[in-house]
A and B are shown apart, each in its own frame.
Chain A
Amino acid sequence: GAVVSQHPSWVICKSGTSVKIECRSLDFQATTMFWYRQFPKQSLMLMATSNEGSKATYEQGVEKDKFLINHASLTLSTLTVTSAHPEDSSFYICSASNVMNTEAFFGQGTRLTVV
């Protein structure tokens, strides 16, 4: 299957700072990538759809000014958590695919801890 790489796998940051998470499709091009968030003992919830060359589409309740998404190329989407607070501590995971595949492929996920 196709490979999606996510970096970093874990990060600890101080409250008020910003953190950038990268999602790369290594062996295919993806015009659309998805960002999910998972709180402890909860399921994965879609945060936003990242569209190459255009603005991301955010799900209801997700602050677009806090979670900045940039999809500047066909192989890279970034999620920046701005002015992070402890309540942003969560597991963030991205997925990507294209018309050559029948399924979405997921990155390894990023464990964000804000202290």
Chain B
Amino acid sequence: KQEVTQIPAALSVPEGENLVLNCSFTDSAIYNLQWFRQDPGKGLTSLLLIQSSQREQTSGRLNASLDKSSGRSTLYIAASQPGDSATYLCAGYSGAGSYQLTFGKGTKLSVIP
């Protein structure tokens, strides 16, 4: 059974700093991997989807990478801003054509002005 772990559980950084969030998974047969943002009491906002054949995706200040062989994904946030404060979740798809996700517990990010 796929397990997804996110480290650290919480992170506090000063505004402007670059940072990396880590995600690891136990089953290298993971298909796609997706990063989400969740604000307190809110739903999920999709940030980046890395498809099975891809190694990374970029959107604005965000860059996510996927290394299946090592069972790891990272989310890089450049020039962090207070508005980036939220919980970031990574989730893995179980297989081709499956839309069932296994989520990590998330990293709670606080960007201090």
Are A and B part of the same complex?
A: yes
- Chain A interface residues toward B at CB < 8 A: 1, 6, 32, 34, 36, 42-46, 49, 93, 95-97, 99, 102-109, 111
Q: Are B41 and A43 touching (Cβ within 8 A)? A: no
Chain A residues near B72 (CB-CB < 8 A): none
Interface residue B42 (Cβ < 8 Å from any Cβ of A): yes
What would 20 more interface pairs be, CB under 8 Å, given A46-B101, A106-B46? A1-B46, A6-B43, A32-B99, A34-B100, A34-B101, A43-B106, A44-B103, A46-B102, A93-B44, A95-B99, A95-B101, A96-B99, A102-B51, A103-B32, A103-B34, A106-B43, A108-B42, A108-B43, A109-B42, A111-B41
A sample of 23 cross-chain residue pairs with beta-carbon separation below 8 angstroms, ordered by A number, consists of: A1-B46, A6-B43, A32-B99, A34-B100, A34-B101, A36-B103, A42-B105, A43-B103, A43-B105, A44-B89, A44-B91, A46-B100, A93-B43, A96-B99, A97-B99, A102-B49, A103-B46, A103-B99, A104-B99, A104-B100, A105-B46, A107-B43, A109-B43
Interface size of B by CB at 8 A reads: 21
Question: In whole angstroms, how far apart are the Cα atoms of A1 and B44 in the complex?
Answer: 14
Question: In whole angstroms, how far apart are the Cα atoms of A3 and B71 in the complex?
Answer: 31
Q: Are B49 and A43 touching (Cβ within 8 A)? A: no
Interface residue B60 (Cβ < 8 Å from any Cβ of A): no
| Interchain residue pairs A-B with the least CB separation, the first 6 | A109-B43, A104-B99, A43-B105, A97-B99, A43-B103, A108-B43
Which applies to chain A's interface (DSSP): helix, strand, loop or mixed? strand
Q: Are A34 and B43 touching (Cβ within 8 A)? A: no
Chain B residues near A44 (CB-CB < 8 A): 89, 91, 101, 103
Chain B residues near A1 (CB-CB < 8 A): 46
Chain A residues near B100 (CB-CB < 8 A): 34, 46, 49, 104
- Chain B interface residues toward A at CB < 8 A: 32, 34, 41-44, 46, 49, 51, 89, 91, 93, 97, 99-106
Which of A32, A43, A49, A108 gathers the greatest number of chain B CB atoms within 10 Å?
A: A43
- Nearest CB of chain B from residue A30's CB, rounded to whole Å: 9
Report the nearest A residue to B91, measured CB to CB.
A44
Question: In whole angstroms, how far apart are the Cα atoms of A96 and B101 in the complex?
Answer: 11
